[in-house]
Amino acid sequence: MTLRLIEKLTTIPLWVHATATVGAFAAFQGVKSVLDKSYAASLHPVDYVTGQTSFNGETIKGYYAVMQDAGTLDAYRTTQIIDFGFLAAMACFGILLATLVARFSHPGSWGRRLGLFAGLAALAGASCDAIENAWSFVMLSDPVGFADWLALPYSGFAVTKFALITAAMLLVLLSLVFLVIGRSLKDSRLG
């Protein structure tokens, strides 16, 4: 059902679709800028990828302790709230870009399918990001005393998020490749 909803985006007027994609990209970049500044202000001791993928409660507690000692843990909590806006912008941009690329391939072709699956992967990645982000608030409720096992699902959702977002980017590229090959060979099954 979700894939059918994503596919409906390929039927809106092209100028609306392209304008929405550009707007979503601008929103994504705007929120990313605010997020990056907030993350830097939190003085989190490692980059966000390292921080999210440790799978180790003691390590994450150590990161939180550094911020707690510096008095910036509230800035980190704010960063996590801003991240919800970032992931929403990321999902919108990912879906719109993927379906914009997909719409140039013939319906039912590999190029179209790959583009639509890219949109689905972007949505799934953003959903995992939302769960991981919400999970961080559970850990932040007791930043240096939370149960160590809480780090496992937190990092699991983060790794899954990164994998799905990477898959979405690769699928968009493959959709473009199939579009070009299909058009070059005049094969509507490819693109």
Residue 116 lies in a domain: yes
Residue 170 lies in a domain: yes
Residue 174 lies in a domain: yes
Could you tell me if 17 and 9 are in contact, meaning their C-beta atoms sit under 8 angstroms apart? Answer: yes
Task: Name the residue range of residue 69's domain.
Answer: 2-185
Residue 35 lies in a domain: yes
What is the pTM assigned to this prediction? 0.94
Q: What are 19-64's pLDDT values in tens digits?
A: 999 999 999 999 999 999 999 999 999 999 999 999 999 999 999 9
Q: What are 67-121's pLDDT values in tens digits?
A: 999 999 999 999 999 999 999 999 999 999 999 999 999 999 999 999 999 999 9
Residue 176 lies in a domain: yes
Domain count along the chain: 1
Residue 190 lies in a domain: no
